[in-house]
Amino acid sequence: MTTKAQAREYQRIFNKFRETVPQLGYDGTVALLNKLHRYETTLHRINENDCNGHPRMKTEYRDGQMYRFEVEDEKWAARDAKKEASIQKRVIELLDPLDIKVQFNGDPRGGAIRMLLPDHTSNGWDGETWGIYW
């Protein structure tokens, strides 16, 4: 964590999870939040790639001239799609036994993982879900 605001947000989410899922204990809550943060970061990067495309530079020579331009890298896009599906499945499997429902946001401007807690509280603007924001 780099800022006080991030530390406060982590503590706020940590306290909420300790209250919502007390059976995890301290170490379990820390491990869960660390996994969710890792998954959130990867999904966010994949969402940015989807938004920006998956550019690859291509060079062609025509009539003695060199032309460089970007093309869509289909292999990279396929890897990202496979990784996204795998992470979404893992997140659902991780949170489902804790009675926490999950929504995934494909827009890079927001949190990629949104959790619907049993008490219907929120840490976001939508008033319904919790996100990982540190």
Domain count, the chain: 1
Query: Contact at 8 Å (CB) between 101 and 115?
Result: yes
Q: For residue 27, what are the β-bridge partners? A: none
Could you list the residue range(s) of the whole structural domain that residue 63 is in?
4-131
Task: Work out the average pLDDT over 100-107.
Answer: 90
State the average pLDDT over residues 103-119: 87
67, two tokens: 């032309």
Residue 104's alpha-carbon distances to 35, 48, 79, 116, in angstroms, are 16, 14, 18, 11
pLDDT digits (tens, 9 = 90+) for 28-82: 999 999 999 999 999 999 999 988 888 888 888 988 899 888 888 888 899 999 9
| Mean pLDDT over the full length of the chain | 88
